[in-house]
Amino acid sequence: MARLAGVSEATVSRVLNGVGPIKEETRQRVLEAAAALHYVPSAIAQQFARRRSGNLGIILPLLPKVNLFATHYFSELLSGIGATAKQEGYDLLLFFQGHDEPRHYDRLFQAQKIDACIILGAQDVPAEREALKELHAASRAFCLISQRYEDEPYNTVDADHASGVRAAVKHLLEKGYERIGLLNGPSVYSNSRDRLEGFRQALAEQQLAASDAPVLIGNYSRKSGYSHADQVAMLIRKGELDAIVAGSDRMAIGLLQGLKEHGLTAGIHYGLVGCDDSEGSRLTDPALTSLTVPFYEAGSEAAARLLTSASDEEAESGFQLKLPVQLVVRGSSAVRPL
């Protein structure tokens, strides 16, 4: 090929691998020679020449007895990430991280297994912070989804959970509910803190005392929602609670099921709003009012921006996106009976 194009083998290599400055005339001669010889480049050789793996790493939390791929949150995120990575010519490598395991994220880059990584399920704990600082100090290309560290400049893609909860509380108040509670997730997740902030802001806007509003903590699972049913039923019967906003559809559905066992029906005895607008929210009885969170779009945006920054040194560095959410009203928050 070099002889046919009238250039050196090194020049052929640079053209085919897109490495270094090449005159357009020379590039065209090499490409024409390659076409004449029916040359098919080796993807592995190209990746080696570019010092890239062609892999986008996805770090996922390892949760015992939980099928992550069956959950709305992770399945939508991974679908968005995967579709965009495919368009950019990248493959996905999945890495599962236990909460108690050491975070050795940078080793994945050192071993040249990945060119960039997206971290799902990150927590605001010392071990996580240390691992992320190590990545940032080494100028690694990485992005967090649904987690922010206010004092750090990391790439993030998140949804506007605070405004979503404000909209949910306003909706319940307009439907006649007066004593609204929050079933939230753990504070190690920034989206849990965002929901709590939005909840308190919504009450303050209506001149309601946040200190009187019940705030319960679950772990986003259906089981944790179900486990709060006894306490919530007691609060409803004592007149201290007549509606609740849950931080995930799974918690809301678990709570709805548990309260049914107490003879309490959403949309009749109390109001209920979930978060995610998952398929399950349409299948409950009554159907669950929920906040649509654009998880697929979040995954797609994270992959697109991250892979652009990883492959283009002149690309804009750093991004922090916050995507809007939307309230979808269904039967679980019907007008409160007088």
Name the percent of the chain lying above pLDDT 70.
Answer: 86
Q: Are residues 289 and 318 in the same domain?
A: no
Instruction: Give the pLDDT confidence score for residue 189 in this predicted structure.
Output: 96
Q: What is the CATH number of the domain that holds 272?
A: 3.40.50.2300
R_g of the chain, CA atoms, integer Å: 25
Q: Are residues 64 and 177 in the same domain?
A: no
Q: Are residues 38 and 66 in the same domain?
A: no
- Angstrom distances, CA of residue 247 to CA of 152, 155, 161: 25, 24, 9
Instruction: Give the pLDDT confidence score for residue 314 in this predicted structure.
Output: 43
Q: The domain containing residue 87 runs over which residues?
A: 55-159+295-323
Report, as an integer, the average pLDDT of 100-116.
Answer: 87
Which has the higher per-residue pLDDT, 75 or 35?
Answer: 75
Distance between CA atoms of residues 280 and 332, nearest Å: 13
Whole-model pTM over 0.85: no
Q: Are strands 289-292 and 320-323 parallel, antiparallel or unpaired?
A: unpaired
Q: Are residues 129 and 276 in the same domain?
A: no
Q: Select, from the ranges 24-33, 61-70, 254-263, the one with the highest average predicted confidence (pLDDT).
A: 254-263
Q: Are residues 67 and 34 in the same domain?
A: no
Provide the number of structural domains found in the chain.
Answer: 3
Instruction: Give the pLDDT confidence score for residue 75 in this predicted structure.
Output: 93
Q: Are residues 255 and 289 in the same domain?
A: yes
Q: What is the CATH number of the domain that holds 41?
A: 1.10.260.40
Q: Are strands 326-328 and 289-292 parallel, antiparallel or unpaired?
A: antiparallel
Question: Is 201 domain-assigned?
Answer: yes
Return the SS3 of 69.
Answer: helix
Question: Could you tell me which of 307, 304, 295, 293 has the C-alpha nearest to residue 162?
Answer: 293
CB count within 10 Å of CB 105 equals 22
